[in-house]
């Protein structure tokens, strides 16, 4: 059973580990190999220590006391018409995927953002990311596209949008995401 809780600065190392490991498994064959190989947990930890002091909502998922995933979001950074909040990141270790933890994290973030007065949300996702189906199953709809530089290469990204935070995950069977 997983537990979802508010992330603290003390979680920075665990979040950084999940962030690096999930990038290396999720984006293999999409993002340049040398970029993935050079991702550094210590550098990410420093970034997360700082990030966790900002006005963002970050939650971690724990299984047996170990952080296996996280989600973060807040006010939209780049305007997308009709949306006021943004899912900045959601990552799970491979062994924690397809157990309902991702959906639980997404719903927790949506609830928190809703409590802060946001009504809708968008997430920018690498188009070739195999997790794209997760966003569709949770109720997200493709609303925009652009290119983003990662590791010196321009990659296509798409925005999935949810016009109503309260509807995220409605009708999704437990364990399917």
Indicate yes or no: pTM above 0.85: yes
Convert the pLDDT of each residue in 56-67 to its tens digit: 999 999 999 999
- Alpha carbons 69 and 67: distance in angstroms, whole number: 6
Q: State residue 2's pLDDT score.
A: 86
Confidence tier at 172 by pLDDT (50, 70, 90): low
Q: What is the CA radius of gyration of the chain?
A: 15
Q: Which letter does DSSP use for residue 31 in this model?
A: B
Q: How confident is the model at residue 177 (pLDDT cuts 50, 70, 90)?
A: very low
Give, for 107, the enclosing helix (H) or strand (E): helix 101-115
39 contacts 47 by C-beta, under 8 angstroms: no
d(CA 107, CA 101): 10
pLDDT digits (tens, 9 = 90+) for 92-142: 999 999 899 999 999 999 999 999 999 999 999 999 988 778 999 999 999
Q: 8-52 pLDDT, tens per residue? A: 999 999 999 999 999 999 999 999 999 999 999 999 999 999 999
Q: Which domains does the chain have, with CATH numbers?
A: 2-167 (3.40.630.30)
- 174 has pLDDT over 50: no
CA-based nearest residue to 118, from 175, 74, 158, 68: 74
Return the pLDDT at 175: 44
Task: Give dist(CA 49, CA 35) in Å, integer.
Answer: 22
């Amino acid at each position: 059973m997983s537990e979802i809780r508010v992330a603290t600065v003390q979680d920075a190392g665990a979040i950084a580990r999940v962030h690096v490991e999930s990038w290396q498994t999720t984006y293999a064959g999409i993002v340049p190999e040398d970029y993935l190989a050079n991702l550094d947990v210590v550098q990410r930890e420093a970034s997360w220590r700082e990030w966790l002091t900002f006005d963002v909502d970050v939650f971690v998922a724990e299984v047996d006391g170990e952080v296996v995933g996280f989600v973060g979001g807040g006010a939209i950074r780049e305007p997308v018409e009709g949306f006021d909040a943004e899912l900045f990141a959601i990552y799970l270790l491979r062994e924690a995927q397809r157990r309902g933890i991702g959906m639980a994290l997404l719903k927790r973030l949506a609830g928190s953002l809703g409590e802060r007065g946001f009504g809708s949300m968008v997430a920018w996702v690498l188009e070739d990311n195999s997790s794209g189906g997760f966003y569709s199953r949770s109720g997200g709809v493709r609303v925009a596209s652009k290119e983003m530089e990662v590791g010196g290469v321009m990659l296509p990204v798409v925005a999935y949008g949810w016009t109503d935070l309260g509807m995220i995950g409605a009708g999704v069977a437990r364990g399917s995401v």
